[in-house]
C-alpha cells in the first residue's frame, strides 16, 4: 500500500473561509462592495447556543450565516450604535452544506451565504438579491 500525504485535503479553517468571503465582497459591484467592507465579518465554528435558542433553532448545522445589526432601511442618523454591524459565517454548517450538495464550489457557497446576509443589511428585495447573486439560475 502506498503512503499518501493527506495534508492538502484538510478542511478550510476560519481564516480561509473569511478570505473566501472577502473575495466575494471584492467581486460585488463597486458601490455595494464599498458599503460591504464597512460591515464586520466574523467566522466561527457554530452559532452560540444562546443565539440558537433565541432563534428557536434546534440543530446548529441549520444556521450557516447571520446578520447582526440594524438594516440600513431602519437606521437613523440619531441612532447611537451599540456595536458594529456584523456578518457571521458559521464554518461547520457551511462545510456540511457544501459536502452534502457536492455540486458547487465552496467559494460559491460562501459567497451565496454572504450575499444573503448582506441582503438583510441593505434591506434588498428578492429582485435586488437576484441581480447580485445568480445562485438559483
- Give the tens place of pLDDT for each residue, 117-135: 998 888 877 777 777 666 5
Kindly state the cell numbers that stand for 72.
Answer: 440600513
- Give the tens place of pLDDT for each residue, 24-67: 999 998 998 999 999 999 999 999 999 999 999 999 999 999 99
pTM, to two decimals: 0.85
Question: 121 and 85 in contact (C-beta within 8 Å)?
Answer: yes
For domain 11-68+85-132, is the CATH number 3.40.50.300? no
Rounded to the nearest integer, the mean pLDDT of the chain is 87
**Domain ranges for the chain:** 11-68+85-132
- Rounded to whole angstroms, the maximal C-alpha distance in the chain is 69
Amino acid at each position: 500500500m502506498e503512503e499518501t500525504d493527506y495534508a492538502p485535503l484538510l478542511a478550510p479553517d476560519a481564516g480561509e473561509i473569511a478570505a473566501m468571503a472577502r473575495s466575494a465582497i471584492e467581486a460585488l459591484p463597486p458601490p455595494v462592495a464599498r458599503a460591504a467592507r464597512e460591515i464586520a465579518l466574523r467566522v466561527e465554528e457554530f452559532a452560540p447556543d444562546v443565539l440558537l435558542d433565541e432563534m428557536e433553532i434546534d440543530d446548529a448545522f441549520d444556521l450557516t450565516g447571520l446578520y447582526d445589526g440594524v438594516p440600513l432601511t431602519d437606521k437613523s442618523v440619531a441612532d447611537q450604535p451599540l456595536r458594529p454591524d456584523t456578518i457571521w459565517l458559521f464554518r461547520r454548517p457551511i462545510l456540511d452544506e457544501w459536502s452534502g450538495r457536492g455540486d458547487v464550489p465552496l467559494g460559491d457557497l460562501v459567497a451565496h451565504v454572504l450575499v444573503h446576509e448582506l441582503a438583510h443589511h441593505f434591506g434588498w428585495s428578492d429582485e435586488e438579491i437576484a441581480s447580485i447573486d445568480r445562485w438559483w439560475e
